[in-house]
């Protein structure tokens, strides 16, 4: 089981490496100092399964995938991030998590609720396709109700069209 996941991840990573980053929004948080391999259960570090532990392990930038206007497809860059998440959730099988789907403000309220749900499910479906059990993943849509970037411009909107992974403690 674990071997199959690992093989799948390696294959997917190889493919993903070939794809260039092209739509990462500006003003992303700084890259993490953490290396790819997490060193869990250090006596003073965050608890396993806490959001802080997850962020430390996979890097903040890998906890959120971004979408183009009105789109919900998981592209190569998103896949790389989700594979990084899948490594974590394979290693810590006791950790369940929520994927929050969000939209930018330039959409009508109800449609955005449905679109956020579709984005969260797109990320979930990819994680399931690479071996994470569906029953560990909860989805919730916030539509345009919870923006992280507060401006009314393309850069802010790009940061708000997202699916964010949050661990459940």
Q: Which of 125, 133, 155, 169 binds another protein (CB under 8 A)?
A: 125
- Smallest separation, CB 72 to another protein (Å): 8
Q: Does 120 bind another protein (CB under 8 A)?
A: yes
- Smallest separation, CB 126 to another protein (Å): 12
Q: Does 108 bind another protein (CB under 8 A)?
A: yes
Alpha carbon separation from 7 to 23, 93, 127 (Å, rounded): 28, 18, 14
Q: Does 141 bind another protein (CB under 8 A)?
A: yes
- 33 phi and psi angles, rounded to 5 deg: -90, -10
Q: For residues 46 and 97, what is the distance between their CA atoms, to the nearest angstrom?
A: 16
Q: Which of 26, 28, 47, 151 binds another protein (CB under 8 A)?
A: 151
Q: For residues 145 and 126, what is the distance between their CA atoms, to the nearest angstrom?
A: 25
At 98, list the tokens. 């929520």
Q: Which of 114, 129, 136, 166 binds another protein (CB under 8 A)?
A: 114
Neighbours of 110 (CB within 10 A): 9
- Smallest separation, CB 29 to another protein (Å): 16
Q: Does 70 bind another protein (CB under 8 A)?
A: yes
Q: Which of 80, 147, 161, 165 binds another protein (CB under 8 A)?
A: 147
Alpha carbon separation from 78 to 116, 133, 152 (Å, rounded): 16, 19, 24
Q: Does 140 bind another protein (CB under 8 A)?
A: yes
Q: Does 47 bind another protein (CB under 8 A)?
A: no
Alpha carbon separation from 125 to 21, 118, 149 (Å, rounded): 22, 10, 26
Q: Which stretches of the chain bind another protein, using CB under 8 A?
A: 70, 72, 105-111, 113-115, 117-122, 125, 139-141, 143, 145-148, 150-152
């Amino acid at each position: 089981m674990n071997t199959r996941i690992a093989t799948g991840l390696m294959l997917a990573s190889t493919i993903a490496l070939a794809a260039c980053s092209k739509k990462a929004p500006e003003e992303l948080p700084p890259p993490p100092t953490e290396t790819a391999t997490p060193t869990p259960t250090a006596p003073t570090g965050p608890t396993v399964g806490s959001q802080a532990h997850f962020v430390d392990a996979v890097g903040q930038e890998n906890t959120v995938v971004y979408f183009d206007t009105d789109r919900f497809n998981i592209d190569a860059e998103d896949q790389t991030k989700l594979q990084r998440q899948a490594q974590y959730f394979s290693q810590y099988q006791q950790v369940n998590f929520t994927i929050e789907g969000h939209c930018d403000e330039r959409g009508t309220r109800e449609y955005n609720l449905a679109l956020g749900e579709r984005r969260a499910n797109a990320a979930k479906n990819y994680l399931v396709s690479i071996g994470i059990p569906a029953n560990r993943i909860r989805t919730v849509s916030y539509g345009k109700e919870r923006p992280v970037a507060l401006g009314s411009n393309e850069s802010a909107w790009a940061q708000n069209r997202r699916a964010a992974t949050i661990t459940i403690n």
